[in-house]
Structure 1
Amino acid sequence: MSGSALRILIIGGYGTFGARLAQLLCDDERFCLLIGGRSLAKAAAFVSSLGGKAGKEPVEFDRNGDVYKQLSALAPAMTVDASGPFQTMGGDTYRVPKACISLGIDYADLADSREFVRGIAALDAEARAAGVFVLSGLSSLPALSFAALDRLEQDFSRIDHVSSGIAPSPHADIGPNVMRAIASYAGKPVPIFRNGISTTGLGLIEWHRVTVAAPGCIPLKSNRFRLVDAPDLDLLPQRFEGLSSVFTGVATKPQSLQRLLAATAQLVRLKLLPSLLPFAPLMYRASKLFAFGEHRGGMFVHASGSDRAGQPLEASWHLVAEGDDGPFIPVTGLEVLIGKLANGNRPADGARSAAGEFPLEAFERCFERFAIHSGTRHVRPGEVNLPLYRRLLGSAWERLPRAIAATHDTAEGGHRLSGRARVERGTGFLASIIAAAVGFPKAQDDVAVRVCFTTKGRTEFWTRDFGGAEFGGVQLEGQGRDAHLLAEDFGPFRILMAVVPDGAKLRFIIRGWRFFGIPLPLVLAPGGDIYEEERESRFHFHVEIGGPLTGLIVRYAGWLEEEVS
């Protein structure tokens, strides 16, 4: 390790988020990482498991001890507080940033405490005089949420309503300190801005239903986002003059755990319990016990108001993270900051919240190494009749190959296409009955195909003709819990699909089905490998329909091109 390596102390360095920050930085030999925590043994064990090129030292650090003495001995260039919870910090709340200022050490934290982030500005004059920066809340809320809002704001002349929320994967270990933070305000009054006035909501009780659907990937299941006491609730009314309402929420998954937390929050509201803080360890164990469902998480920011022409506008930014990648999201802002610092690009001196400190592009560059997808969606009154697939795909529409985009870029009146296909049919009894009922074509090696689809309002009517055998369907955008999914109706059945660009292909992934509106088990849903693709500038299709009870029902594949009138 070079003597010029930047010494970075990570308080909580072996915890849920501190460990992930260390993993992001450990391959950069410009850094010396001081992995700090109350247990030197745990710090040492984590350091021994951490590879990479950066220097690493396990250190004992107690945030509740003599902070000035500990920082003086370690002499970091920068301190990162990733320990939390900031909501329940006793004694001198700002003892760590104050000691950093006194010693000329730059400071940043992952605080999601509304009061902590709001109060950090009281240290501004001291930080400026010492020539250091003190940035608080460099996490999903408010740093990333404000970066997303800055992106959305470009299309607005006025923003009236803002809501945002985080939906962690049920398998993500959010850590006991995060659960303590949630428990601190569950069931208690939360100051909130609503209908243009300051009022109160109820933590973990009030909710908004949202479907997080990053353009171009499978949406998360529709979730209730329950009110949390986040810094954004203070910062947003300061940022946007005339703002009417704000909301920040968390969608704990699975829904059974969320209902349990909401029920216990009601006990606090009814004053049957003074607080859920004593139950935070139990709540944390419950989150581990209820860790089932899809290993996916996400986040959204939604704004509504008027566009530059004075017309109503809704815009939203969505993010979806797959598997274990989600918990890296809160520390990407710190990665951006530390990378800039190592390159000599320092933030301005002073103490402030990290809201708006970095643009969304900086976060997106960090996301590229992960299975993290994000994008924007816009709704204008004049665009409600945009082609169905444009509405579904949002900003991901631009990623479609030309042949696929041309096929689905339908105006009123629709398209007529023709080509050739090969058809296979299942031989099972149930498969034969279903194929005959729907009108699927018989098995043929080479058959003429004609597809006509017409658009009426927000609905597309499809007719497929295979050598004279016709079958039809109705395609439309799902609503409510099925928002951002493609719905196709075949008689009493409705199939719900995510529409996902994948290189030269557009894939259709089954996410649910209904019979006369009644949800049926997804495990029994008909499905298979369904996609469209561009090959040699021509539109090709591949549709495979089958199920665990039926086996293969039908498989047809071929090509189409627009008919010349």
Structure 2
Amino acid sequence: MSGDRFSLLIIGGYGTFGGRLARLLGDQPRLRMLIAGRSLEKADDFVADLRTPKDGSDGLGSNALGAMLQAVAFDRDGDLEEQLTRLRPNLVVDASGPFQTFGEDAYQVVDACIGLGIDYADIADSTGFVAGVSGLDAAAKAKGTFALSGLSSLPALSFAALDAMAPHFSRIDSVAAGIAPSPHVRIGLNVVRAIATYAGKPVTVLRDGRQASGGGLIDAMRVTITPPGVAPLRSRKFLLVDAPDLALLPQHLAGLRSTFTGVGTEPQPLQRLLSLAARLVRFRLLPSLLPFSRLLQRASHNFAIGEHRGGMFVRVGGIDRAGKRRIAGWHLIAEGDDGPLIPIIGVEALVRRLLTGMRPENGARPAAGELRLADFEAAFRRFQITTGIRMECEEARLPLYREILGSAWERLPPALAAIHAGGHAGGARVASGRARIERGGGLLARIVAGVIGFPAAAEDVPVTVRFVSDGDKEIWTRDFGGKSFHSWQVEGKGRDRHLLAEVFGPFRVLIALVPDGQRLRLVVRGWRFCGIPMPLFLAPGGDTYEEERDGRFCFHVEIGGRLTGLVVRYTGWLVVED
């Protein structure tokens, strides 16, 4: 029976990444998975757990339609030819690492696979290891096999995103990429060890078209990860990491002038402490952070504070086909526990393609450009993973809401698009309709409403909203039955990038625009009072959305907070006047 199955040997199969790969591929009836590692006992325990029914369903392997699972002992420092000959895999996936520490015999597993005509892939994130695998290219071609290194987030997914954005450019000057893991992800020890090897050490990047020395976990850039139409991650700093992209990008793009790859961990204060420790290495007060790997891992587990979501970005800058300066950004957000699956989705996609007879070209090479973005997105659709591309032209701004929403603008119902279509600078648009107004009864609520000028409670009052474009902002003047108040809206800058900032008197509220079916939800992501950042849990928010009903723009605006209770709620409809 097993002779008809595709045999996959996963080195590190019961580890962090190998285990996730095994779980993702467990539904494949044509697959024989060899869960391999130095400890046969740990491999047996993992296979038993994988076979255990969960949530009332059959466990992987217990179902006749599932993959066949087998625990095996495998020692990468043992007799590789004997072990591989005995196990007879069609594909070996090395999911162990850290690849940065493999030393002089770094490619012994790859060599053994090529020598026996066995295909090979790994999820290496070591610049030297991934780039160096090309030295085995001739041997792999002679044996009619392939060896793909770095089939992970960096460089396989990052290059797939880059290649999806590249057709918009006539020249690409800069590429930056970064990963923002959820603070609730239990980072594996090998990942921490890999990062610790270069913390505070020189990392080669491009600056002004020349090779330059950056500081590992010291150099930084701030990015807000926000796929179009999704509430963004909190803005954060990304610290420079030594990723294969830094070596591969100059070979891939002639004339490239700037490169950066980073990691943005949460909570940010813990990341700042990590960066400070890296500086101790730079100034030779510590030889390395490698001896502190377990301590660093425990710290990341014990201080899991923040949203249960993670993300990734790839940002490209250059000249577009019309000769204008343009920035394109591919953004990804993964909800809950789905983020940790991303590093092995590339390998999963490769295996599924092999099972359908789609085989990569023979040869040994980095996996950069090996898969298309569509290969990853097909897998993302099975999880709570949202991606999207934002195109920004530095010389021509779109109307405010369209600029913030990016490609998600196309999902707005026509009535909503008409309200937010914008207009000429200094020109006004007017919409009118009817509204119902409710007011909170608390003292503090009445004070806040009075400061801003919210109208009194009323039923079925005429309402008029006047929109005036003034540079990059819009001024909204709302008139409810003769009582008017105004605010102005603008796209946030810096750490508030891609958020709508609305200013009411001394209050500045930061809002994510999130399409949800026929509705556009306005989700509060931060606020300031007199320019001072305030705690989010005290933010003046509520259930606020716009929607189309019977062809009309309808609004439901709720403003309140923990301290004030309800301040005001107004609902109704508007129609844009000709």
What TM-score does the superposition give when structure 1 sets the normalisation length?
0.97
Secondary structure of the equivalent of 2:4?
A: coil
CA displacement 1:115-152 (0-9 Å, x = unmatched): 00011001111111111110000001000000110111
Q: 2: distance between equivalents of 1:134 and 1:10?
A: 14
Preserved contact between residue 145 and residue 363 of structure 2 (Cα < 8 Å): yes
Q: 2: distance between equivalents of 1:11 and 1:162?
A: 32
Counterpart residue number, 2:219: 206
| 2:205 matches 1:192 | yes
Counterpart residue number, 2:32: 32
Task: After TM superposition, list the pairs within 5 Å mapping 1:200-239 onto structure 2.
Answer: 200-239=213-252
How far did residue 91 of structure 1 move?
A: 4.2
How far did residue 373 of structure 1 move?
A: 1.2
Counterpart residue number, 2:569: 555
Q: 1: distance between equivalents of 2:304 and 2:137?
A: 42
Counterpart residue number, 2:18: 18
| 2:410 matches 1:401 | no
Q: Which moves more between the two structures, 346-355 or 221-230?
A: 221-230
Q: 2: distance between equivalents of 1:414 and 1:377?
A: 28
Preserved contact between residue 528 and residue 534 of structure 2 (Cα < 8 Å): yes
Q: 2: distance between equivalents of 1:435 and 1:39?
A: 66
Runs (4 or more) in structure 1 with deviation over 4 Å come to none
Q: 2: distance between equivalents of 1:58 and 1:513?
A: 53
Task: After TM superposition, list the pairs within 5 Å mapping 1:258-407 onto structure 2.
Answer: 258-384=271-397, 386-407=398-419
Q: 2: distance between equivalents of 1:428 and 1:131?
A: 77
User: Cα gap change, 1:537/1:47 in structure 2, threshold over 3 Å: closer, same or farther?
Assistant: farther
Secondary structure of the equivalent of 1:18?
A: helix
Q: 2: distance between equivalents of 1:452 and 1:27?
A: 57
Q: Which moves more between the two structures, 429-438 or 504-513?
A: 429-438
Counterpart residue number, 2:505: 491
User: Cα gap change, 1:401/1:62 in structure 2, threshold over 3 Å: closer, same or farther?
Assistant: farther
CA displacement 1:241-300 (0-9 Å, x = unmatched): 111111111112211211111111111111122111111111111111221111211111
Q: 2: distance between equivalents of 1:46 and 1:393?
A: 44
Structure 1 counterpart of 2:300, one-letter code: S
Preserved contact between residue 305 and residue 312 of structure 1 (Cα < 8 Å): yes
Q: 1: distance between equivalents of 2:49 and 2:437?
A: 54
Residue 78 of structure 1, aligned match among 77, 81, 91: 91
| 2:461 matches 1:447 | yes
CA displacement 1:152-171 (0-9 Å, x = unmatched): 11110111111111111111
Counterpart residue number, 1:434: 448
Q: Which moves more between the two structures, 305-314 or 457-466?
A: 305-314
Secondary structure of the equivalent of 1:546?
A: strand
Gap regions ≥5 residues in structure 1: none
Task: After TM superposition, list the pairs within 5 Å mapping 1:240-255 onto structure 2.
Answer: 240-255=253-268
Secondary structure of the equivalent of 2:43?
A: helix
Q: 2: distance between equivalents of 1:387 and 1:349?
A: 49
Task: After TM superposition, list the pairs within 5 Å mapping 1:79-118 onto structure 2.
Answer: 79-118=92-131
Preserved contact between residue 16 and residue 173 of structure 1 (Cα < 8 Å): no
Q: 2: distance between equivalents of 1:166 and 1:445?
A: 50
Counterpart residue number, 1:126: 139
Preserved contact between residue 377 and residue 394 of structure 1 (Cα < 8 Å): yes
Preserved contact between residue 11 and residue 61 of structure 1 (Cα < 8 Å): yes
CA displacement 1:177-235 (0-9 Å, x = unmatched): 01000000000111222111112111111111111111111111111111111111110
How far did residue 45 of structure 1 move?
A: 1.8
Counterpart residue number, 2:520: 506
Q: 1: distance between equivalents of 2:34 and 2:218?
A: 40
Q: 2: distance between equivalents of 1:257 and 1:467?
A: 52
Percent identity reads 62
Structure 1 counterpart of 2:33, one-letter code: L
Preserved contact between residue 212 and residue 319 of structure 1 (Cα < 8 Å): yes
How far did residue 2 of structure 1 move?
A: 5.7
How far did residue 457 of structure 1 move?
A: 1.5
Counterpart residue number, 2:489: 475
Counterpart residue number, 2:56: none
For the aligned residues, what is the CA RMSD? 1.3
Structure 2 counterpart of 1:270, one-letter code: F
Q: Which moves more between the two structures, 306-315 or 489-498?
A: 306-315
Structure 1 counterpart of 2:32, one-letter code: C
Secondary structure of the equivalent of 2:339?
A: helix
Structure 2 counterpart of 1:226, one-letter code: L
Q: 2: distance between equivalents of 1:447 and 1:67?
A: 81
Counterpart residue number, 1:526: 540
